[in-house]
Chains A and B, each alone.
Chain A
Amino acid sequence: MKIVVCMKQTPSKDSILRTSADGAGLDLSQTEFETNEPDSYALEEALRLKDEHSAEVVAITAGAANTTTAIRDALAKGADRGILIEDDLFAGVAEPLATATALAVAIRKESPDLVLTGLQSDDVGFGQTGVVLAELLGLPHATLIVELRTDGATLDVKRELEAGWFQRLQLPLPALLTIQSGINKPRYATLMGIKKAKKKPLDRLPLGELDAAVSPGLVVQRLYAPTKQKTGTLLTGTPAEQAAQLLTKLREAKVL
């Protein structure tokens, strides 16, 4: 079984984001990156299947030049190979269709049995790349997957619905799934894994060499700090003063 996992690196949780001079992009020169958290659940699911069914796991990313954080992480945790599609188009707010088209060109050559993605990225968060990719590859798909079983020919998955509801689905392989958090506990990379990762193959594909151009559909006009609509009261002072005020307010509101 061959599994392709689509991964992305996103600015680390506590990073401060600066917009670029033209206001329509980001200045990421000072930013630290980490693996997009939802993708780490997708990777773990692939590695779990590898442990059970002896699969080959290929991690792929579409990113700016040298965006190897997520791929190196994947290789260190146990993925067999990495593919990096490089272009500065992916440095800012890339459209899902542009990203998925690039991924599709590279993934088609791999003819995988299963493609996994996170359910969305913690940066722009369109939550679309996986589903668009499935359509481009002509694969059946299912999203928000919280349990995955396979006999090698079909998938039996549990999909999260709203408000505490679930549903089981069966679909034939090859297929694409977007993975929801909580499906597993992502492993940590071991020192041995990190060492081994350095010797694993990492293919770099310049976007310009792929037939993956798309005409723009979503155009960013401006990125800016959101206007906050704070209506409540902020309680200030020492922790003891804050606690005292909070209790007073809650008693006044008759909720204690």
Chain B
Amino acid sequence: MSVLVVAELTHAGDFHPMSWEALTAGRELAGQLGLPLSCLVIGGSLGDRSAEAAARGVTQVAAVEHALLSAYTADGFCSALTQALGQIAPQYVVFPHTYQVRDYGPKLATAVGRAFLSDCTSIRFDGAEPIFVKQVFQGKLSADFTLAGDAPRLFSVQSGAFAADAERPDSPAPIHALAIELDEAAIRVHPTEPYREAAGTADLSSAERIVSIGRGIKDPENIALAQRLADALGAELAASRPICDSGWLPLDRQVGSSGQTVKPKLYLALGISGAIQHLVGMKGSEVIAAINTDASAPIFEVADYGVVGDLFEVVPELLKQLEQS
């Protein structure tokens, strides 16, 4: 019995940083339950990755390596992990809530006959029973869940909800290579190499100041107002996903988990609610300011300066006062 954390490798072969956030969640749980913490690394050729995982303060590393896992496929990963879970028999399995885990986690859970609690933000304890907290209804409510049923119990943790676990190189853990068998014919989806769209002109990552617009801007005609503010502040214009989905601004101006990650000195959010997929792209900004009509919008939880108000009233005032000064 153990708490097993499944670390993820990116297509470039590095650890996905959310792996170490999942490890922190696993460590909390293992500590409370008095269970050993182990880590699973999966991929086509693991190289030094198993040894790196072994230097993270775990009792054991399970290495799942197979040529058919070089390119991620849900079929390949589920088959490999089903076998691995059978061999390890963990009590809990922790995943980072990455796009890859979104793709295979629910399939794996169903294949092993278990439920999967996706996207948890914290774990509490009620006696010996862990309680998993998840945001629901777009962050309007929180929900406490318990996991029923037999081990293994599977859950994933939201990006940024747990601090990344540190390296602990002092006493490296033993590495166990797991023997698994995969059938090429059972991999039904054929992926090609990941690619980026031809780079656009917007390089938001080096911008000192960013004015970012969300659905609160309401109409493409109103973008000119935000552009004027950006010009007056010496800022680049960026946006949340729906603005780029609608084609109001090009995709290379999208901030968030699918778009760019930015760290400007100033990030001014106009009419953006602050969904987690947006926050992960901008919460590292030095100063965050937000204008939003809804006082309960999650953007105010990360904003250093919050203006609860109508952007169509506040932005013209900002422009007027910037002109006067």
Contacts and interface: CB of A to CB of B under 8 A. Distances in A.
Contacts of B189: 140-142, 169-171
Interface string A113-150: 00000010011111110011011100011111000000
Given A228-B301, A246-B305, A220 B107 contact: no
Contacts of A240: 317, 321
B142 A122 contact: no
B258 A160 contact: yes
B192 interface: yes
Contact of B110 (A135, A168, A185, A230): A135
The dominant DSSP class at the B interface is mixed
A17 B141 contact: yes
B231 interface: no
Given A96-B106, A181-B242, A167 B141 contact: no
Interface string A61-102: 000000000000000000000000000000001011100100
Contacts of B309: 239, 242
A93 B134 CA distance: 12
Contact of A219 (B139, B145, B286): B145
Interface residues of A, number: 76
A163 B301 contact: no
B317 A162 contact: no
Contacts of B304: 231-233, 249, 253
Nearest to B97: A127
B190 A171 contact: yes
Interface string B116-127: 111100000000
A172 B320 CA distance: 59
B49 to A, nearest CB: 19
Interface of B: 11, 74-75, 98-99, 102-107, 109-111, 114-119, 131, 135-149, 188-197, 209, 233, 241-242, 244-246, 251-252, 257-261, 265-266, 286-289, 296, 300-310, 313-314, 317-318, 320-322, 325
13 contacts: A19-B141, A119-B102, A122-B138, A127-B102, A132-B109, A140-B74, A143-B103, A218-B115, A218-B117, A218-B147, A232-B303, A235-B306, A250-B305
Given A230-B300, A230-B301, A232-B306, 14 more contacts: A17-B137, A128-B106, A134-B107, A135-B106, A142-B103, A164-B252, A170-B189, A171-B188, A215-B149, A220-B143, A240-B317, A247-B325, A255-B286, A256-B209
